[in-house]
Amino acid sequence: MKLLRYGDAGAEKPGMLDADGTLRDLSGVVGDIAGDVLSDAGLAKLRALDPASLPVVDGNPRLGPCVGNIGKFCCIGLNYSDHAAETGAAIPEHPILFMKANSAIVGPNDMVMKPRGSTHTDWEVELGVIIGKAAKYVSKEDALDYVAGYCVINDVSERHYQTQLTGQWTKGKSCDTFGPAGPWLVTRDEVEDPQELAMYLDVNGKRMQTGNTNTMIFTVAEIIEHLSGLFTLQPGDVISTGTPPGVGMGIKPEPVYLEKGDVMELGIDGLGVQRQEVGQDA
């Protein structure tokens, strides 16, 4: 299934795409794509529906973040061997974890706003993992059973804030609009292997990132094992699992960063496409 949320920011309604790509309203069935709806039982209830029985959503409404009421927004840094190489960083021994503020979360096609005075805003296409049930001390062999589904994430980053403002990466990762998520939550039964997904990101029509989740240093299962050994992962938590090479910071001989008016388009096989125009906070 492809589950989504549509409507004005802060007032999104739950929906699903049927086999023909028609948007269907789920408001009469569930309150949101969140919480218990993400459990195996909750997803089974939605899977049993006849999509043709659901109201068609007319027009072309705004798509919101594909998960509502996200608890923790966990992100993994330097998790692609080829991305680590382009930045000159050593391969980490354990997953590098930082948190992204939930106030960064926006819809997949909403504007991305450069913070006031920013000169180093960068792009990062990433595979997002949505947790479906509480996970504590989970083994990697069982880890994928705790996944509700997957989505596209753009882990937008302000590199000066990230590396020069003293402290953790969170400063450069948590600016408003720096967490586009969606367009859909694709349930795990439709993703045969999360470690064989091609991904890309274009800026102004130019291909900047080309990658595949098969170059991850730590797999989705290994990440869930590691994080669930540190704290309980709850339904609706999102894990952004790292980015392949081609970020602006890694361009030689000089890095390239986003400017007002630039357009990012990014996607992952089977998980849909995002498109964001870049704006500038006054």
Q: Would you place residue 246 in the very low, low, confident or very high pLDDT band (cuts 50, 70, 90)?
A: very high
- Co-location of 33 and 92 in the same domain: no
- Domain that includes residue 211, residue range: 73-280
Q: Would you place residue 15 in the very low, low, confident or very high pLDDT band (cuts 50, 70, 90)?
A: very high
Mean pLDDT of 225-251: 97
Residue 146 lies in a domain: yes
Q: What is the rounded distance in angstroms from the CA atom of residue 270 to the CA atom of residue 248?
A: 25
Percentage of the chain exceeding pLDDT 90: 92
CA-based end-to-end distance of the chain: 40
Residue 58 lies in a domain: no
Cα dihedral sign for 266, 7, 277, 79?
negative
Q: Please state, rounded to an integer, the average pLDDT across all residues of the chain.
A: 96
- Co-location of 87 and 197 in the same domain: yes
- Co-location of 84 and 168 in the same domain: yes
76 in Cβ contact with 97 (< 8 Å): yes
Mean pLDDT of 118-132: 97
- Co-location of 233 and 141 in the same domain: yes
23 in Cβ contact with 40 (< 8 Å): no
- Please tell me the pTM assigned to this model: 0.97
- Co-location of 85 and 43 in the same domain: no
Residue 64 lies in a domain: no
197 in Cβ contact with 70 (< 8 Å): no
- Co-location of 167 and 27 in the same domain: no
Q: Which residues pair with 74 in a beta bridge?
A: 99, 239
Residue 201 lies in a domain: yes
Residue 63 lies in a domain: no
- Co-location of 168 and 216 in the same domain: yes
* pLDDT at residue 30, as a whole number: 98
- Co-location of 79 and 133 in the same domain: yes
253 contact partners, CB below 8 Å, separation of at least 6: none
Residue 151 lies in a domain: yes
200 in Cβ contact with 126 (< 8 Å): no
Extract the tokens encoding 136.
Answer: 């504590």
- Co-location of 126 and 212 in the same domain: yes
Per-residue pLDDT tens digits for 38-59 = 999 999 999 999 999 999 999 9
CA–centroid distance for 23 within its chain? 21
- Co-location of 179 and 242 in the same domain: yes
CA distance to 42, 50, 107, 204, per residue, from 45 (Å): 5, 11, 25, 41
Residue 51 preceded by cis peptide, ω within 30: no
Q: Would you place residue 270 in the very low, low, confident or very high pLDDT band (cuts 50, 70, 90)?
A: very high
Mean pLDDT of 187-211: 98
141 in Cβ contact with 219 (< 8 Å): no
- Co-location of 128 and 22 in the same domain: no
**Would the pLDDT of 69 be above 80?**
yes
Question: How many structural domains comprise the chain?
Answer: 2
- Co-location of 111 and 18 in the same domain: no
CATH code (residue 122)? 3.90.850.10
* pLDDT at residue 90, as a whole number: 84
Residue 68 lies in a domain: no
170 contact partners, CB below 8 Å, separation of at least 6: 98, 99, 100, 101
Residue 186 lies in a domain: yes
